[in-house]
Structure 1
Amino acid sequence: MPAKPEILKLSPIANSRLFHIEAMELRFSNGVERRYERLMTGGNGAVMVVAINEYNQVVLIREYAAGLDDYVLTLPKGLIDPGEDALTAANRELQEEAGFAADQLTFIKQLTAAPNYMGHRIDVILARSLSVSKLEGDEPEPLEVVLWPLDNLPELFARDEFSEGRSIAALCLVEQLLRTT
């Protein structure tokens, strides 16, 4: 494995409530220097919840996605609040977005999205032993909950409204785990 490049300089470019864009002046081990830009996220990270009920159905939500200016079908997810760990945040987000709490929570894997440009990481959490439990969240409108049979993921993956790569990856990871256990 090559040596990591030396960071010569970090310069802020722009900031928002959620994101920080910075320029990185780098020198690689072969002496080549380049300027990169990256989108950093602050805070404590994020979680994505693969919740499976007693009927072997995955809990999905339909929500507005500003980046696409459309409604999408996806997994419950959200930021880890200060003082929370990933499992606590996953259970809270599941209650806020889908109206379920889980008695069994298992960390699956940390995923990244476009790591060449973004520092965003999200922890995939498997939630089992669900019960009805609703917490007030920060969503601007009620989210539609859709229960999808776990054994019918190919049809879900074929739907245009289910296109988020992290959700697809999370479901594939959980499906593989459940096949081997």
Structure 2
Amino acid sequence: MAQRPIPEILQRKIVARSRLLRIEAVDLRFSNGVERQFERMQSSGRGAVMVVPFVDATTMVLVREYAAGLHDYQLGFPKGLIDPGETPEQAANRELKEEIGYGAEQLIPLKSLTMAPQFFSATMHIFIARNLYQEHLEGDEPEPLEPVHWQLSDAENLLAQEDFTEARSIAALLMTLRELERDPN
């Protein structure tokens, strides 16, 4: 299949802004001459990380935390933004220390994901963390997160949990299962 040329950007402007988000209107011209305006949320450009940590060979650690978008508590893997000057690996280790009180001697990169790329320009880097050691850093969460230990062999029941619905956490779990099936060490 032939690669299509990327549309030409005719104009960009910020149409809304908050403390966390910027919404940009982008006027485009496609290679067939059609012009359209798209709106997209602009990310910080730094990206984010999510980590599937293992306290032993078979036990993962998740966190239950408040999800403002759903106005409810959700179960998922430790995650957060990459701070300025950090690599994704450094951010993954910092987030582990802040959210579950462990650092990792080994971080295995799985994949970098996008979320709703038609509207959002952020990337999340997914890691498996092994050989954990205790170390706590103060995080920015408004209340302590609830760590939840889960056996990898019980992944089907995790997928069935009513509060385990975030697509990125589900993708991270499925990629972890595939990776560990391919390379159990």
Q: CA offset at residue 106 of structure 1?
A: 1.8
**Aligned amino acid, residue 62 of structure 2:** L
- For 1:74 and 1:35, the matched residues in 2 are separated by 35
Q: Deviations over 1:133-181 (max 9, x none)?
A: 2111111101100011111111111111000000100111111011111
- For 1:101 and 1:49, the matched residues in 2 are separated by 11
Worse-superposed segment, 139-148 or 16-25 = 16-25
Alignment of 1:28-39 (within 5 A): 28-39=30-41
Alignment of 1:122-137 (within 5 A): 122-137=124-139
- Give the match for residue 61 of structure 1: 63
- Give the match for residue 92 of structure 1: 94
Question: Which of 118, 121, 126 pairs up with 2:120?
Answer: 118
Q: CA offset at residue 17 of structure 1?
A: 2.3
Question: Which of 140, 147, 150 pairs up with 1:148?
Answer: 150
Q: CA offset at residue 87 of structure 1?
A: 0.6
- Give the match for residue 138 of structure 1: 140
- Give the match for residue 47 of structure 1: 49
SS in 1 for 2:180: helix
- For 1:137 and 1:148, the matched residues in 2 are separated by 23
**Aligned amino acid, residue 59 of structure 1:** V
- Give the match for residue 11 of structure 1: 13
Retained in 2: the 8 A contact 1:87–1:106? Answer: no
SS in 1 for 2:168: helix
Q: Deviations over 1:50-106 (max 9, x none)?
A: 111214111100000000000000110001111211111101100100111111012
Retained in 2: the 8 A contact 1:110–1:121? Answer: yes
TM-score w.r.t. length of structure 2: 0.95
Unmatched runs of 5 consecutive residues or more in structure 2: none
CA RMSD after TM alignment: 1.0
Moved over 4 A (4+): none
TM-score w.r.t. length of structure 1: 0.97
- Identity, % of aligned pairs? 52
- Give the match for residue 173 of structure 1: 175
SS in 2 for 1:134: coil
**Aligned amino acid, residue 98 of structure 2:** E
